[in-house]
Chains A and B, each alone.
Chain A
Amino acid sequence: MDRHEITEIVTTAVVDGLGAEPDEVTPDATLLDDLSAESIDLLDILFRLERALKVKIQAAQLAEYVQGGIPDEEFGDADEIITEKGLAQLLRVMPQIDPDELRGTLKARRVMSLFTVDNLVDLVIHRMAVDAMEAGTPERAEVPA
């Protein structure tokens, strides 16, 4: 399955999960800010993806994926402002962000508000690759259990 197909499936899941208009759900739309997704909406979207793609993503894994395993105290400083190390990680999973604009102002609790539809596509692709590796070779992973 290529990125284009996965993007279509993710877009459908977001449109259906949010009850949004299809033209609102663009790749660069942020889920929380632009599309006003709430926690139960995210859960709905993730379950739709699980049914459509057999890929299981826990809601808590969204934030873990974005933070990339960096401990809280290294990700943000005492005032919760994201550190240089944190910014570098964010740029890896959300390449659309401008670190210069966010440096010194972005708080940890605001990080998820930058997460876009396209970032979710990346996460799904990442998760599918991890699942395939854990199940053996990619070829074997396609054989139904």
Chain B
Amino acid sequence: MTISGQVALVTGGSRGIGAAVCRRLARDGVAVAVNYRSSEGAAKSVVRDIEEHGGRAITVAGDVADAGEVGAMTEQVIRELGGLDILVNNAGVSQDALLYDMAMDAWLDVMRVNFGGVFHCTRAVLPHLMAKGAGAIVNVSSVMGERGWIGESNYAASKGAVNAFTRCAALEAARFGVRVNAVLPGFVPTDLVSALVEGDGGKSIRKQIPARRLGTTEEIADAVRFLAGPESSYMTGSLLTVDGGAAAVLGAGRP
């Protein structure tokens, strides 16, 4: 059993970590459905890039926050790529603000995409994977779901929901041969966290990371690839931190 020849749906696959995951999976022979909501041009560019490297990919439009669109998207992937083996729930948004200033509906907007998307896609894909008795679901969550950060209360709560959901879904899917795991990235320079690293170029954040640098989208994609493939066949319900040690920090002490 190798990952080559399998089919993956990657939500939010047009940019950032999602695009790196699409390229990484395609490199190992996975046919990839690159989902996007608004960035059609970027999604097509990811597909073109994969095709130029001899891979197979399509774009699929759809808002993961909308259950109906997710259902249609799942059907489209199975129809056009001939099946579905891997789901990477990557689509995410943030609306950072101090809780004191946060709009009353800012929790729901973030929750609809970050957790709603994971729920909808998992729910839509699971019967297909269960019927086959095989499959892997990888949720791109965040260390924020397990730790705190000023200004990210709504985002952190949505990722905490993803982490809890990952464990429960893993329990229910395990006996059907379907694994559910999550990658918890730390700080990776993408559009999503641009506000955090702008200004001083992320210097103040880097000082708080034991590895003294931000992560790359490729490093996150490697972890997703591992959890999507047979190398992690006995792993399910795991939350895999990829953060340069950031979540291990209690405080920056001295001997």
State the majority secondary structure of interface residues on A. helix
Return chain B residues, CB-CB under 8 Å to A44: 175-176
- Asked whether, in the complex, the Cβ of B175 is within 8 Å of the Cβ of A50, the reply is no
Return chain B residues, CB-CB under 8 Å to A43: 130
- Asked whether, in the complex, the Cβ of B133 is within 8 Å of the Cβ of A51, the reply is yes
Count of inter-chain pairs, beta carbons less than 8 A = 13
Closest to B133 in A: A51
B172 interfacial by beta-carbon distance below 8 Å:
yes
A40 interfacial by beta-carbon distance below 8 Å:
yes
Return chain A residues, CB-CB under 8 Å to B133: 47, 51
Return chain A residues, CB-CB under 8 Å to B175: 40, 44
- Asked whether, in the complex, the Cβ of A50 is within 8 Å of the Cβ of B131, the reply is yes
Which residues of B103-133 have CB atoms within 8 Å of chain A's CB atoms? 130-133
Return chain B residues, CB-CB under 8 Å to A51: 131-133
| A-contact 0/1 string along B125-157, CB 8 Å cutoff | 000001111000000000000000000000000
| A-contact 0/1 string along B157-169, CB 8 Å cutoff | 0000000000000
- Asked whether, in the complex, the Cβ of B172 is within 8 Å of the Cβ of A47, the reply is no
Most buried by A among B132, B133, B175, B176: B175
Closest to B127 in A: A47
Return chain B residues, CB-CB under 8 Å to A40: 172, 175
Closest to A51 in B: B133
Return chain B residues, CB-CB under 8 Å to A50: 131
Closest to B173 in A: A40
Closest to A47 in B: B130
Cα distance A51–B176 in the bound complex, in angstroms: 11
Nearest CB of chain A from residue B162's CB, rounded to whole Å: 22
Nearest CB of chain A from residue B186's CB, rounded to whole Å: 35
Which residues of A22-51 have CB atoms within 8 Å of chain B's CB atoms? 40, 43-44, 47, 50-51
Closest to B171 in A: A40
Cα distance A51–B127 in the bound complex, in angstroms: 13
Cα distance A51–B131 in the bound complex, in angstroms: 7
Q: A50-B131, A51-B133 are in contact. List 5 more A-B contacts (CB 8 A).
A: A40-B172, A47-B130, A47-B131, A47-B176, A51-B131
Contact residues of A with B, CB < 8 Å? 40, 43-44, 47, 50-51
Query: What are the 9 tightest A-B residue pairs by CB atom distance, in nearest-first order?
Result: A47-B130, A44-B175, A50-B131, A51-B133, A47-B176, A47-B131, A40-B172, A44-B176, A51-B131
Could you show 8 A-B contacts with beta carbons less than 8 Å apart? A40-B175, A43-B130, A44-B175, A44-B176, A47-B130, A47-B131, A47-B176, A51-B133
